[in-house]
């Protein structure tokens, strides 16, 4: 991995970060729409992306040509506070961005194992490479649903796995999940890792220094040679 493969963007506070990231993502989606007539944005759930979603939602883009999907999902109904689809609908798919097409990963099947084939069909139908992937990171070093100790972590990180989508169960995950695979997430024109706070910065530095992804799976994103990683951070 060369040093210019990791690009750091540091901001004074989460609000400035959200504005800068929304601007970058807006510009990249606009380029995608004008070059190819459509664009795909894959986003994370959790709490960190809310400000960024709010900022992006009112940007004047041709949203009808944008597809929004998730990098991972907790296997819960949209009525649950834990649902990433619910988060995206509440904070991103409103105002001008309400015109975007949303492709959820949750299918209503009883388990992610049972719903995986359908989720895979949905994702396989999207144009690739994606235009933008925005990842988050947990304090345990997980990203997407690549959790330490995850039952299918090796499958999800395998650069040659054509599966696109895999179920994931892990102690730290809360509920069963489903996740896009690492090779799919790397197949994007812009790959962002959005993290906030000193604790996560320390985890990031440790992950940058450690090639083995089993301890902090985000290492697999940071240490791959294929796609530059744009790290957006604020305290």
Ligand X SMILES: O=C(O)[C@H](O)[C@@H](O)[C@H](O)[C@H](O)COP(=O)(O)O
Q: Which residues contact ligand X (rule: CB under 6 A)?
A: 44-48, 71-72, 74, 84, 136-138, 142-144
Pick from 91, 100, 104, 76: nearest CA to 174:
76
- Tell me the C-alpha distance between 213 and 210, whole Å: 8
Q: How far is the CB of 170 from ligand X (least distance, A)?
A: 11
Q: How far is the CB of 35 from ligand X (least distance, A)?
A: 28
* C-beta closer to ligand X: residue 84 or 227: 84
Q: How far is the CB of 81 from ligand X (least distance, A)?
A: 12
Q: How far is the CB of 221 from ligand X (least distance, A)?
A: 11
* C-beta closer to ligand X: residue 74 or 169: 74
- Tell me the C-alpha distance between 117 and 54, whole Å: 32
The answer for 10, left when phi > 0, alpha when psi is -120 to 50, beta otherwise, is: beta
Q: Report CA 182 to chain centroid distance, whole Å.
A: 10
* C-beta closer to ligand X: residue 127 or 174: 174
Q: Would you state the structure tokens that stand for residue 142, as one six-digit string?
A: 């997980």
- Tell me the C-alpha distance between 102 and 135, whole Å: 18
Q: Would you state the structure tokens that stand for residue 33, as one six-digit string?
A: 């729409």
Helix or strand (DSSP H, E) at 69: strand 66-70
* C-beta closer to ligand X: residue 33 or 232: 232
Q: How far is the CB of 235 from ligand X (least distance, A)?
A: 15
Cα dihedral: 81, 86, 87, 88 (round 10): 170
Q: Would you state the structure tokens that stand for residue 12, as one six-digit string?
A: 């004074």
Q: How far is the CB of 156 from ligand X (least distance, A)?
A: 12
* C-beta closer to ligand X: residue 65 or 138: 138
* C-beta closer to ligand X: residue 72 or 131: 72
Helix or strand (DSSP H, E) at 6: strand 6-10
* C-beta closer to ligand X: residue 33 or 207: 207
Q: Would you state the structure tokens that stand for residue 209, as one six-digit string?
A: 């220094």
Q: How far is the CB of 137 from ligand X (least distance, A)?
A: 6
- Tell me the C-alpha distance between 185 and 133, whole Å: 7
């Amino acid at each position: 991995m060369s040093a210019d493969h990791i690009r750091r963007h540091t901001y004074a506070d989460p609000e400035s970060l959200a504005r800068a990231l929304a601007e970058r993502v807006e510009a990249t989606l606009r380029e995608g729409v004008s070059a190819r007539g459509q664009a795909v944005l894959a986003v994370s759930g959790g709490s960190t992306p809310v400000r960024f979603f709010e900022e992006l939602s009112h940007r004047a883009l041709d949203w009808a040509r944008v597809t929004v999907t998730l990098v991972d999902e907790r296997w819960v109904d949209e009525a649950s506070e834990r649902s990433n689809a619910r988060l995206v609908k509440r904070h991103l798919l409103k105002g001008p961005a309400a015109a975007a097409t949303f492709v959820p990963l949750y299918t209503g099947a009883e388990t992610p194992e049972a719903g995986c084939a359908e989720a895979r069909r949905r994702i396989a139908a999207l144009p690739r490479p994606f235009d933008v992937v925005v990842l988050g990171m947990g304090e345990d070093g997980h990203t997407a649903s690549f959790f330490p100790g995850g039952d299918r972590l090796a499958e999800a990180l395998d650069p040659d796995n054509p599966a696109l989508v895999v179920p994931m169960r892990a102690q730290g995950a809360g509920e069963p999940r489903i996740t896009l695979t690492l090779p799919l997430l790397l197949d994007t024109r812009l790959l962002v890792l959005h993290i906030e706070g000193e604790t996560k910065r320390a985890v990031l530095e440790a992950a940058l220094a450690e090639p083995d992804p089993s301890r902090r799976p985000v290492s697999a994103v940071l240490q791959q040679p294929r796609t530059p990683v744009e790290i957006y951070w604020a305290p």
